[in-house]
Amino acid sequence: MTAPVAVTGVGLLTPAGQDADATWDAVCRGAGSAAAHDPELAGLPVDFSCRVPLSREALDRRVGRAAWRMSRNAVLAVLAAREAVRDAGLDPRTWNGDRVAVVVGHSLGAAGDVGAALTVLTVQHGTVPPVANLDAPAPGFDIDCVTDEPRRQDVRVAVSHSFDFGGHNVVLALAGSS
């Protein structure tokens, strides 16, 4: 039998929010994360984006001197990782470097990570957020869908499903601690 793994910290920096709490609040409100008329896309055929609304200067202030050597995506990853470590109550100064695993993906794979993180928050908060942009399920659709407002309920187990290019399908079953 394999050893169980516990999710001890969540870090999110998304177009919907600049940390896990802000992202969670936006998801529970059913808020979208796309910004219409993004000024950085002016003159292009598409002028909306799902970009984290932080300027390069703001990112540099939050990360420090080393930020100027990193790509924007790397700086966002550092900020999300710092939040997850803080949320877990961990102190990186006490880590044995040989025993710490770091997995960094790209934005396509991060979509699954966002879904998994929001599933963790669903279990932690005991709240099921509404399905974005769904007023009501189609007639005859027999799955209970939360619409309009978040639903408070005792969530003991939640499942997160992601799929990616190349046929990768990942399902995580996440359970709250007893």
pLDDT digits (tens, 9 = 90+) for 97-122: 555 655 555 545 566 778 888 888 99
The residue type at 59: L
pLDDT digits (tens, 9 = 90+) for 15-71: 888 889 998 998 898 877 777 777 777 888 887 777 787 777 887 788 777 776 777
Question: What is the rounded distance in angstroms from the CA atom of residue 134 to the CA atom of residue 145?
Answer: 9
Kindly give the interhelix angle for 107-125 and 20-29, rounded to the nearest 10 degrees. 80
CA dihedral 111, 88, 86, 95 (to 10 degrees): -110
Which uninterrupted H or E stretch holds 90? Answer: none
- 67-82 burial: b if 16+ Cβ within 10 Å, else e: beeeeeeebbbbbbbe
pLDDT digits (tens, 9 = 90+) for 118-161: 888 998 898 999 887 788 888 888 778 888 899 999 888 887 87
Cβ neighbours around 56 below 10 Å, total: 11
DSSP state of 40: G
Strands 157-163, 169-175: pairing is antiparallel
The whole model's pTM is what? 0.72
Which uninterrupted H or E stretch holds 171? Answer: strand 169-175
